[in-house]
Amino acid sequence: MAITKETIVDKIEVVGEFKHIQVRRATVIKEDGNEISRSAHRIAYAPDQDVSAEDEEVKAVANAVWTDSVKAAWKTHKENSGS
């Protein structure tokens, strides 16, 4: 009877005007290759956040959607909203 645990990025979503990236990680527990448990954890990133420690796929999405114009619009939004 072998029990294994793995954590995988199972969903990446780009949402909103400023292209926030939501990442869902699933922790999967298996017994003899059969899934017996799954839990999820989400984290969201804004265009001015560091994703360098993230999964390669998440970094690729960030590089694709966080254009200079998106980053500038996010910065302006934060400045105008007092954040």
Please give the Cα distance from 31 to 22 (Å, whole number): 29
- 43-62 confidence digits (pLDDT tens): 999 999 999 999 999 999 99
pLDDT of residue 81 exceeding 70: yes
Query: pTM of the prediction?
Result: 0.86
The set of residues, in sequence order, having a beta carbon less than 8 Å from that of 79 and lying 6+ positions away, is none
pLDDT at 82: 75
pLDDT of residue 68 exceeding 90: yes
- The domain spans of the chain are 3-81
- 22-51 confidence digits (pLDDT tens): 999 999 999 999 999 999 999 999 999 999
